[in-house]
């Protein structure tokens, strides 16, 4: 493999440029680690042509995007590329790698609304993407750039979903993929996806932050395209979830959007889209974007509480919501900007609160993986804090499918979730949500008795 230090195609040829989020330096092309060569901070994509904000095209864009829903073209059938006016332009649109990501539904959560103390609650389920998580919306964009730049290998460190998504898109593109995951700290479902899609999968005896650190060293040595969310093209794809959400709501802006926080790429991406939509006159005000973390992996919450957002407080992460078991989030500055710009907040929730919220989302017939359930658990706290009023409109972003981590779900319903974990003992409220499977003789009377007992 030949060595290369830089990506080869100037970003300006895509109608966009890159800019450092800390020192503001602009770049035509990124270094391979996607960090500013002056100050080491992250880069973001920006579009000089509409940087100043131009509301004159809002109606035209809304109509165009809606029209594309009728199209049979692969690009239009993608819930990401349908919004391509707000995405980096490709040199050859026919080479975009898409699995028809996006197009995810909004569900009503009536029981969860009651439990959270709000009149109405909706969820946009990003777990309904092709590989079962929101990562697909970003991966289509960044993998397409990797193809355009003629990389043979792509790589990521992951808590599971990024690796599953990257492996799938790389396979579809005919690229090789390298996955670095923390050994014993990701769900089997996600690991199995990476294997099935053909990734070279390395389980490292460290945590996610350790994997990401190590990957930075690997990409210094080899021409491998980095696909963690420090890659700003991934966030461009991910931001389309917010555009699609607003379109689904008829461009009527909700009061609150509640997002789980891990490496903090997703909250950054959604916030970026909201600000861009406001600049383009697609929406007239901003929803408050709030980020929820597990109490055992709460660097953003602590950064705000203890340091007023000035410098990152890193933590040793510990949560059963393995997707967000991250103590040193790369995009903390970007996420803080989103909270500031939208007037949102950060909150933390316990393991028991996460488990209960997950079962409640299940009982609305929707379901999600543990990391996504922090949104409902967090919303309850935001209502208790009076940050969210009962009659305000709230949308939760559910990030992963319920089948991503069935082991967690089974343990919860069997009453074994906290067994041998060292977490607090299981609270009484679990009983009301637990739906343990019954083992019965193959006898109709036994089944009838079970039904009658359940109906009592
Ligand atoms: N929810 C799920 C299901 C996730 O997989 C992740 C992150 C998050 C929320 C947090 O999003 O990092 O953008 O703040 N998963 C990454 C991964 C880290 O490797 O799959 P974030």
Cα 455 to middle of ligand 1, angstroms: 39
Nearest CA to 170 among 188, 190, 189, 193?
A: 193
Q: Which two tokens stand for residue 164?
A: 């599953």
Rounded to an integer, what distance in angstroms lies between the CA atom of residue 175 and that of residue 295? 38
**Ligand 1 atom at shortest distance from the alpha carbon of 260:** 9
Q: Which two tokens stand for residue 271?
A: 């916030």
Q: Closest residue (by CA) to atom 15 of ligand 1?
A: 323
- In order along its 456 residues, the chain shows pLDDT tens digits of 434 333 334 555 568 999 999 999 999 989 999 999 999 999 999 998 877 777 888 999 999 999 999 999 999 999 999 999 999 988 788 899 999 999 999 999 999 999 999 999 999 999 999 999 999 999 999 999 999 999 999 999 999 999 999 999 999 999 999 999 999 999 999 999 999 999 999 999 999 999 999 999 999 999 999 999 999 999 999 999 999 999 999 999 999 999 999 999 999 999 999 999 999 999 999 999 999 999 999 999 999 999 999 999 999 999 999 999 999 999 999 999 999 999 999 999 999 999 999 999 999 999 999 999 999 999 999 999 999 999 999 999 999 999 999 999 999 999 999 999 988 788 888 989 999 999 999 999 999 999 999 998
Exposure letters 361-383 (e unless 16+ CB within 10 A, then b)? bbbbebbbbbbbbbbbbbbbbbb
Q: Which two tokens stand for residue 159?
A: 């808590």
Cα 182 to middle of ligand 1, angstroms: 14
Q: What is the pTM of this model?
A: 0.96
Q: Are 430 and 158 in contact (CB under 8 A)?
A: no
Ligand 1 site residues (CB inside 6 A) read 133, 135, 158-162, 229, 260-267, 323-324, 369, 371-372, 399-400
Cα 444 to middle of ligand 1, angstroms: 45
Exposure letters 83-106 (e unless 16+ CB within 10 A, then b)? bbebbbebeeeeebbbbebbbbee
Residue 420: burial class (beta carbons within 10 Å; 0-12, 13-18, 19+): exposed
Q: How open is the CA angle 12-217-194, to the nearest 5 degrees?
A: 85
**Ligand 1 atom at shortest distance from the alpha carbon of 228:** 19
Q: How many CB atoms lie within 10 A of CB 138?
A: 31
Residue holding tokens 């990024």? 162
Q: What is the CA radius of gyration of the chain?
A: 22
Q: How many CB atoms lie within 10 A of CB 356?
A: 24
What DSSP letter does each residue of 144-210 carry, written as one string?
HHHHHTT-SEEEEE-SSHHHHHHHHHHHHHT-EEEEEEETT-S-HHHHHHHHHTT-EEEEESS-HHH
């Amino acid at each position: 493999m030949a060595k290369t230090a830089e990506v080869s195609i100037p970003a300006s040829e895509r109608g966009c440029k890159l800019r450092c989020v800390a020192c503001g330096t602009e770049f035509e092309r990124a270094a391979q680690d996607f960090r500013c060569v002056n100050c080491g901070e992250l880069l973001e994509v920006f579009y000089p042509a509409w940087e100043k904000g131009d509301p004159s095209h809002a109606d035209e864009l809304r109509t165009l995007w809606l029209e594309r829903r009728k199209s049979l073209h692969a690009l239009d059938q993608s819930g990401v590329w349908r919004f391509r006016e707000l995405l980096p332009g490709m040199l050859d649109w026919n080479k975009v790698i898409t699995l028809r990501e996006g197009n995810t539904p909004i569900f009503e959560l009536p029981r969860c609304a009651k439990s959270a103390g709000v009149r109405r609650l909706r969820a946009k389920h990003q777990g309904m993407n092709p590989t079962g998580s929101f990562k697909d919306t970003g991966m289509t964009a960044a993998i397409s750039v990797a193809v355009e730049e003629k990389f043979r290998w792509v790589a990521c460190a992951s808590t599971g979903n990024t690796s599953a998504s990257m492996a799938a898109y790389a396979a579809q593109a005919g690229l090789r993929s390298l996955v670095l995951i923390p050994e014993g700290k990701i769900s089997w479902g996600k690991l199995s996806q990476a294997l099935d899609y053909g990734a070279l999968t390395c389980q490292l005896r460290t945590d996610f932050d350790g994997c990401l650190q190590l990957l930075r060293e690997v990409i210094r040595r080899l021409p491998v395209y980095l696909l963690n969310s420090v890659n700003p093209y991934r966030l461009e794809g991910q931001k389309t979830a917010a555009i699609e959400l607003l379109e689904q709501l008829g461009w009527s802006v909700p009061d609150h959007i509640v997002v789980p926080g891990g490496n903090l790429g997703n909250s950054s991406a959604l916030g970026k889209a909201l600000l861009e939509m406001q600049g383009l006159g697609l929406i007239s005000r901003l929803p408050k974007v709030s980020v929820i973390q597990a109490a055992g992996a709460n660097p953003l919450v602590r950064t705000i509480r203890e340091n007023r957002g000035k410098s990152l407080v890193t933590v040793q992460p510990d949560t059963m919501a393995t997707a967000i078991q991250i103590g040193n989030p790369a995009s903390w500055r970007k996420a803080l900007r989103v909270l500031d710009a939208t007037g949102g907040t950060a909150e933390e929730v316990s393991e028991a609160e996460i488990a209960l919220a997950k079962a409640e989302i299940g009982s609305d017939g929707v379901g999600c993986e543990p990391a996504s359930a922090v949104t409902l658990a967090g919303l309850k706290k935001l209502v208790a804090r009076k940050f969210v009023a009962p009659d305000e409109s709230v949308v939760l972003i559910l990030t992963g499918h319920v089948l991503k981590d069935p082991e967690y779900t089974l343990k919860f319903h069997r009453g074994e979730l906290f067994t041998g974990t060292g977490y607090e003992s299981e609270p009484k409220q679990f009983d009301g949500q637990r739906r343990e499977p019954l083992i019965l003789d193959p006898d109709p009377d036994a089944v009838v008795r079970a039904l009658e007992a359940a109906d009592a």
